[in-house]
Chains A and B, each alone.
Chain A
Amino acid sequence: EAQVTQNPRYLITVTGKKLTVTCSQNMNHEYMSWYRQDPGLGLRQIYYSMNVEVTDKGDVPEGYKVSRKEKRNFPLILESPSPNQTSLYFCASSRFSGGSHTDTQYFGPGTRLTVL
């Protein structure tokens, strides 16, 4: 089954304690992204990756890191989480076809993070 998986699904942590949210896709997609979703703000892109070892900042990258060592995995790292990073996080993947209508984004199930 084609899917994007994320772990953990729920996480409560404390300020400053480093954490990693994993993301994996089994569709051989080149393009992967991380988004955060906050009430009234919609989904905002944190980082994206166009292929292995190619990553770049999205709209709200401050406080986050990513890596893309393998095509299928795109972990999100919070080196020193703060309460303003409490949010719902989604990983997504797609074929990179230049923005055509067939270039559907597939989202993972989400990770609900609370930073105390």
Chain B
Amino acid sequence: RKEVEQDPGPFNVPEGATVAFNCTYSNSASQSFFWYRQDCRKEPKLLMSVYSSGNEDGRFTAQLNRASQYISLLIRDSKLSDSATYLCVVNKVEDTGRRALTFGSGTRLQVQP
């Protein structure tokens, strides 16, 4: 079983739609959680951190359920520019000091006019 699992998609949605991505992680020692965005053939960039209480940044809302080891990302009012791959990222700091960032394979979103 992968440490971080995501539905690969693609999710094809019309402009203005609301779309939700889910992610599950297997390591209960995980400490921090993030969503990164990756455009085709480009580097990942931080979209937002995910806090236990849930957090919102404009049209984006992230939720974390530690008990179920589940993370979600909701995008409201989708724009064409939201088309990208969204990576679920889970972090823990090991005893050695290593930042063990584990990346999901990503969920591809295609917003259509």
A41 within 8 A of B: yes
| Count class of interface residues, chain A | 20 to 34
Q: How many residues does chain B have at the interface if contact means C-beta atoms less than 8 Å apart? A: 26
- The chain A residue sitting closest to B33, CB to CB, is A101
State A80–B112 Cα separation when bound (angstroms).
Answer: 45
Q: Is A43 an interface residue (CB 8 A)?
A: yes
B60 CB to closest chain A CB, in angstroms? 15
A99 touches B99 (CB 8 A): yes
Which residues in B have their C-beta under 8 angstroms from that of A56?
96, 98
Q: Check A64 for interface membership: any CB of B closer than 8 A.
A: no
Residues of B within 8 A of A107 (CB): 43-45
Question: Which residue from A50, A98, A109 sits with its C-beta under 8 Å from B43?
Answer: A109
- Kindly state the separation between the CA atoms of A103 and B97 in the bound complex, as whole angstroms: 14
Q: How far is the CB of A98 from chain B (nearest CB, A)?
A: 6
Minimum C-beta distance from A45 to chain B (A): 7
Cβ contacts under 8 Å, B92 to chain A: 99
| Cβ contacts B82-113/A at 8 Å (1 or 0 each) | 00000100011100111111011110000000
Q: Is A85 an interface residue (CB 8 A)?
A: no
Pairwise interchain contact B42-A110, C-beta atoms closer than 8 A: yes
With the chains together, A44 CA to B101 CA distance in Å?
9
Asked if residues A43 and B103 are in contact (CB atoms below 8 Å), the reply is yes
What are 29 residue pairs bridging A and B, where the CB atoms are less than 8 Å apart in the complex? A33-B99, A33-B101, A35-B103, A40-B105, A42-B4, A42-B103, A42-B105, A42-B106, A43-B87, A48-B98, A48-B99, A50-B97, A56-B96, A56-B98, A58-B98, A88-B41, A96-B97, A98-B93, A99-B32, A99-B92, A99-B93, A99-B99, A101-B32, A101-B49, A103-B91, A103-B99, A105-B46, A110-B42, A112-B41
